[in-house]
Chains A and B, each alone.
Chain A
Amino acid sequence: MKQLIQTVESHCPVLDTLVRAIEVTGEVRVNGSKLEMVKA
């Protein structure tokens, strides 16, 4: 059971996404034109 818990905790993709900063890329289009974004 301990091995099962350790395996899940280290492999759950949603948990991994939440605890580790992942790259999120984005693009904004307004009225068909791409808007240049300033990073926060």
Chain B
Amino acid sequence: MSQESVKEALLATIGAIKEKPEAGRAVFRSETKWISDVKCEANIRDFNTMTIDEPPELGGGNAGPNPVELLLAALGTCQEIMYAAYASVMGVELTSLKVDVKGYLDLQGLFLGWMRISPPATARFSTLLTSKARPMPRL
């Protein structure tokens, strides 16, 4: 795949949705299952099963990323995919793209909230996107 083939695929999909709006409605699905302690598994389509766990400080065995880290990865990669997709359609050549996502969680709220000592967990995410891009040369 190249930016040109991404553009072709997207323009074909955009055309199909314009012709038939209901084609734009998508359902994504993930099945998850608790395994033991605080370890879980996630299955998405036919990909390899993902292990989700917590670090030892949160009672886990550190066998995989935790759910908040998955959310951070989802945000970072979604931004990268959207930049790549729109850059292709808008004629911008991307040579590098990187997103550093940090999530700040108040663990006091997470664990003590149920005892009504503090409010429920509050979270704040921040992103830093760095890229190198230039207009695509016209052929």
Contacts and interface: CB of A to CB of B under 8 A. Distances in A.
Contacts of B125: 18
Interface residues of B, number: 13
A18 B75 contact: yes
Interface in A1-32: 1, 3-4, 7-8, 11-15, 18
Kindly state the interface size class of chain A when it binds its partner: 10 to 19
Contacts of B71: 18
Interface in B89-139: 90, 92, 125, 133
B83 A1 contact: no
B79 interface: yes
Contacts of A14: 74-75, 78-79
Main DSSP-derived SS at the A contact region: helix
B90 A4 contact: yes
Nearest to B125: A18
B92 A15 contact: no
Given A14-B74, A18-B125, A4 B92 contact: yes
B87 interface: yes
A1 B75 contact: no
Contacts of A18: 71, 75, 125
Interface of A: 1, 3-4, 7-8, 11-15, 18
Interface of B: 71, 74-75, 78-79, 82-83, 86-87, 90, 92, 125, 133
